Structures are given as C-alpha cells and as structure tokens.
A and B are shown apart, each in its own frame.
Chain A
Amino acid sequence: NAGVTQTPKFRVLKTGQSMTLLCAQDMNHEYMYWYRQDPGMGLRLIHYSVGEGTTAKGEVPDGYNVSRLKKQNFLLGLESAAPSQTSVYFCASSPRGRIQETQYFGPGTRLLVL
C-alpha cells in the first residue's frame, strides 16, 4: 500500500516549456487535491477533484490545468511554465472529502522554472 505517490520528485524547466505532474493513490479515495507550497506562504489549493471525470478550481488555479481520467490518478499540467510557478507541489487525497477527514499527502514535487 503505497498511499499517495508523485512523479517526478524534481524537475527543472525553462520558461515556456510544458510538463505534467502525476499523482497516484491506491486508497480508493474519491477526492484529490493539488497544492503548491511557497516560502512563507504555507500551502495553497490549486485545483481539486471530487471524483473521476470532475475537476474544480481552488485558490490559485491560473496557469494550471488538471485532469482526472481515472479515479486513482490526478494530473497537474503546466502548459507554458513561468518562473512564478517555481514551487513545491503536493498532491493529497481524502476518502469522501468530508471536513473531518484527514488528507493524505504525497511526498511532493520540487519544480524549478528558469
């Protein structure tokens, strides 16, 4: 039982390049989330999904797109990376998205955009 995994662990991009971050969970959770963590800012929600085939915007969605084609996977895409997207990205999941549920976090992906 791997929990929540993220691929890749670290990536360097040039401005304007695109990439996709992959999040996978093996806990059969319905809800999945993407956060970004910046120094002194805590974690902020980018997008989330309440189930397969559904996505919704969070607090800071601009510049990102997401897809949830399979229940266990939640993809975060950057179509044209910008230096402002340099951050650590965390994926999380929870069983049914209820407020009392603990979110389980992946190990994070460190992204550097030059």
Chain B
Amino acid sequence: AQKVTQAQTEISVVEKEDVTLDCVYETRDTTYYLFWYKQPPSGELVFLIRRNSFDEQNEISGRYSWNFQKSTSSFNFTITASQVVDSAVYFCALSEAAGGGADGLTFGKGTHLIIQP
C-alpha cells in the first residue's frame, strides 16, 4: 500500500482560479513530518513546507496554504488565485520516526499542475 497518495495525477485550471492538491498519508508512527516540494519545468526540487505531526494549525504563506488533518491523514495544499508560474509538479512526502530519518523521504507520485493563461 502506498504510504503517500496523491490521487490527482494532473490538474488543469485557468489562471486566477483556486486549486487544491490532495495528499493522503499512511503511518503507524505518532511522530512524523510531512513535506511539500515543487518541481518546476526546469527540473529542480524546491522545498515549500514542513509540518510535524503534533501541529495541526493551518499554514498560510502568501497565495499558498496548507491544511493538515490528522483525523483524515491528509495534508492538502491550496493555491489561491493561481498564476502561470505555479505550473509544476508538486510532491507530498513523509518522514517517519521509525526510520529515524535515515531512510529518507517517502514521496507521493506527484500532481502535475497546469495553469492556463
């Protein structure tokens, strides 16, 4: 079973629309961290946010916001008033205590977001 599921393979919206990228995770640990990375067409991986399992407060950074809900094991990412520059592949990732971090990150398969002008 996938530990990190990003069910939306591709999303296409028109510029200025709001869009939410879903991330559902699975872990038996009580201590874990969740991450979002952005991969623009240039290919590099850009860190966006980190959230620990004990902090369920929503996070907002400009047009970006994240909703963490332990009850549904979800860590969703919303872009408000999307822009063409937001077009990228977005990855959700999990870091668990069981591996002590040494096992690296477990990534979802990514969501390809296309913002049409």
Contact = CB atoms under 8 A, between A and B. Distances in A.
Contacts of B102: 31, 48, 50, 56, 97
A2 interface: no
A42 B32 contact: no
Contact of B44 (A33, A56, A107): A107
A94 B95 CA distance: 12
26 contacts: A31-B101, A33-B104, A35-B104, A42-B107, A42-B108, A45-B103, A45-B104, A48-B103, A58-B103, A58-B104, A88-B43, A90-B45, A92-B104, A99-B33, A99-B96, A99-B97, A100-B50, A100-B101, A102-B35, A102-B47, A102-B50, A103-B105, A105-B44, A105-B45, A108-B43, A108-B45
Interface of B: 4, 6, 9, 31-33, 35, 37, 43-45, 47, 50, 52, 91, 93, 95-97, 99-105, 107-110
Given A31-B102, A35-B107, A45-B103, 15 more contacts: A31-B101, A33-B104, A35-B104, A41-B109, A42-B4, A42-B107, A50-B102, A88-B43, A97-B100, A99-B32, A100-B33, A100-B50, A104-B47, A108-B43, A108-B45
